[in-house]
Amino acid sequence: MNQPLSYWQTFSIVLMRDLKVAVRNKGDVFNPLIFFVIVITLFPLGIGPEGNTLTRIAPGIIWVAALLSALLSLERLFKNDYSDGSLEQMLLSPQPLFIMVFAKVLAHWILTGIPIILAAPLLALLLQLETNAYGAMLATLALGTPILSLIGAIGVALTVGIKKGGVLLSLLILPLYIPVLIFATGAIEAAALGLPYSGHLAIIAALLVGALTLAPFAIGAALRVSTN
Amino acid sequence: MHFANFNDFIDMGGYAFFVWLSYGCAFFLIISLTVVSVRRRKSLLREIQSKQQRDEKLKQLRKGKNSNEPKT
Amino acid sequence: MWKWLHPYAKPERSYQLASTLLPWFSVLSITTLLIGIIWALGFAPVDYQQGESYRIIYVHVPAATLSMSVYMAMATAALVSMVWQLKLADAAAAAMAPIGAVLTTIALITGAAWGKPMWGTWWVWDARLTSELILLFLYLGIIALHNAFDDKVLAGRAAGILTLVGVVNIPIIKYSVEWWNTLHQGATISKLDKPSMSTDMLLPLLVNILGFVLMIGAITLIRFRNEVIARNAMRPWVKELIAKELK
């Protein structure tokens, strides 16, 4: 007789499956990253190459680009699973939805958040970010991008059953990203001025903890509505 | 009455444009929301009515067919 | 204790209740608003600092404060519909979303029209105006999500989840915007909240707020009836209603 899967096994199976699927279609991993790079290079072209201006707006540009590329990559989080029916199977399975949702969001973050964090120092170089702000930038991205994946997943779960969900998704999600944007850029600016920024990081961490605990429930409820 | 005459009232101490813009916009938005909401009821009822009539017709057609069938 | 409430879970009963309440709300709101606005425009004393332009607050403040309350009412309705599976609460929430969006728009327009003579520009990134703008985005998102579903019941549930997610986020957004505002501009002088307002200025404001509340109630009732009809199109009582109203 089959042993029922433990929570940990469920979690790792879903996670590995999502990673494997993404590795097979490499575009899924690289397109958001390329988008991130292109958006950031557009800003100096649009604003002008003066170093001072770029230095001042670099934190904002990097974070807005991160928001947009997260948004762009979100749609595929549940889309394929929804259209081939495996999402419904997940909802029907005896394992708690919380864990599976969690694994999927983590997979999304590994595939889109981590590449952005890795590419950010290079792009910050292009934008001539203050040298002492690099640590703050990496820290805010490391704490902030998981929040983007978690909150974004709520929006995707709500819109997955809708035909043209793309624009709608951005309308639903971007306003909810505002606190992360504000505190993250605030931290980077504080670091650039040589001020302490641990307070900002603490707030972002608090937002992350809040999102970690509450978002999976919202995602689960939204998925149940969408697959109805 | 706070204002001495009607012209003073319209002029609003030189702020006429801003004051009347605010009140005008608010009035316009609220009235249009109300009108849209009230009209929606009528159009909704009509939509449902035409749908019911369509269903009714379909039912009659089907009934007509069924009663014809034994003869043929 | 709550037994008397149970019959109103039936759409027909709620519809009838809404129909009986509607004339009262309409008449009361129109009279209160007429009194309040005439008082505010014609009889309230002038503000010695801002001149006559301060009369804008008699629309701005009710719209701004109530735009938030409408969101809270929507969130309450969404919670009720989730916890007790009460479909009518979704209808109420759906009825309120456009009203909230209109109130937020009014608050933004009047805020800008008041800011132009006071600050010299139509728009400043003041904490209150910014969070009001974000609130408008939240409302628009909820309305858009509601319209994206063909099935009204599903639309109501999806919009309910989004409303609750929004209500968790609103305090965070408000706090973060305030913090951002003080960081970038120093303390801005918010002239809209004068701590001490003289009574003859405050009274018309309170009358207007009451008028707005009644008006929101009336429009909610109108829209709530529409939502109930749309969700119960196949019921016999709707058929009777149609027979009675469209001959």
Residue-by-residue pLDDT tens, chain C, 247 positions: 677 777 777 888 888 888 889 999 999 999 999 999 888 888 877 777 777 778 888 899 899 989 999 999 999 999 998 888 888 888 999 999 999 999 999 999 998 888 888 878 888 887 888 889 999 999 999 999 998 888 888 888 999 999 999 998 888 888 888 888 776 654 444 445 555 667 778 888 899 999 999 999 999 999 999 998 888 888 888 888 888 877 6
Q: Which two tokens stand for residue B46?
A: 């009509």
Residues A211/A150, Cβ–Cβ less than 8 Å: yes
Neighbours of chain C (3+ CB pairs under 8 A): A, B
Asked if A222 is an interface residue toward chain C (Cβ–Cβ < 8 A), one would say yes
Torsion angle of C-alpha atoms C46, C47, C53, C56, degrees rounded to 10: -90
User: Do B23 and C59 make contact, defined as CB atoms within 8 angstroms?
Assistant: yes
Amino acid identity at C2: W
Apex CA A85: angle with CA A83 and CA A90, to 5°? 125
A-chain residues within 8 Å CB-CB of C169? Answer: 175-176, 179
Q: Name the one residue in this structure whose structure tokens are 């709530």.
A: C224
Neighbours of chain B (3+ CB pairs under 8 A): C
Mutant choice from B23, B36, B38, B50 vs C, greatest count of C C-beta within 10 A:
B23
Amino acid identity at B24: G
A-chain residues within 8 Å CB-CB of C145? Answer: 158-159, 168, 172
Apex CA C19: angle with CA C14 and CA C20, to 5°? 100
Domain borders along chain A are 7-227
Chain C residue with the nearest C-alpha to that of B13: C52
Q: Smallest CA–CA separation between C183 and chain B, in Å?
A: 30
User: What is this structure's pTM?
Assistant: 0.88
Find the CB nearest A175 among C137, C145, C157. C137
Residues A143/A116, Cβ–Cβ less than 8 Å: no
Q: What is the ipTM of this complex?
A: 0.87
Neighbours of chain A (3+ CB pairs under 8 A): C
Distances in Å between the Cα of A4 and the Cα atoms of A1, A68, A94, C46, C127 are: 9, 40, 9, 76, 53
Examine chains B and A and say if they touch (3+ CB pairs below 8 A): no
User: Do B45 and C102 make contact, defined as CB atoms within 8 angstroms?
Assistant: no
Angstrom distance (rounded) from CA B42 to CA C242:
9
pLDDT tens for A64-108 read 999 999 888 888 888 888 888 888 888 888 888 888 888 999 999
